[in-house]
Amino acid sequence: MRYIVWALRLIIFLAVLLFALKNTDPVGVTFYGDWAIQGVPLIVVMLTTFILGTVFGLLLTVPGSLRRRRELARLRKELERIQAAVNPEASAQTPPELLVPMSPL
């Protein structure tokens, strides 16, 4: 399975490399107003746009992820509180220490 994954990675890398080599024509990039940059390779523009889109997409997932973490922490505390109310003896006991056998010299 590991070899299949590496073969797929190699195929994707080669496809992207060949795509990049075919798209090296210089293009003009015009920003807002009169600010423009001439002679930028097309692949640079495409990769920059892809990277910025990925970063913005990841930033949009951050609030939901933080909200889920807070909810998980709240639910864990509530679960501990309920378990302590149902079985007070188990919550008072500390778990036994883990004994690890010593390896022979």
6-24 tens-digit pLDDT: 999 899 889 988 888 888 8
- Identify whether 8 is part of a domain: no
- Identify whether 62 is part of a domain: yes
- Identify whether 1 is part of a domain: no
- Cβ-contact 44, 27 below 8 angstroms: no
- Identify whether 9 is part of a domain: no
- Cβ-contact 48, 59 below 8 angstroms: no
CA 18 to CA 61: how far, in whole Å? 32
Query: Model confidence over 50-88: pLDDT tens digits?
Result: 899 989 999 999 999 999 999 999 999 999 999 888 887
- Identify whether 93 is part of a domain: no
> Structural domain tally of the chain?
1
pTM recorded for the entire structure: 0.56
Alpha carbon distances (Å) from 56 to 32, 50, 60, 67, 97 = 20, 10, 6, 18, 46
Range of the domain at 23: 14-88
Q: Where do we find the tokens 């006991």?
A: 93
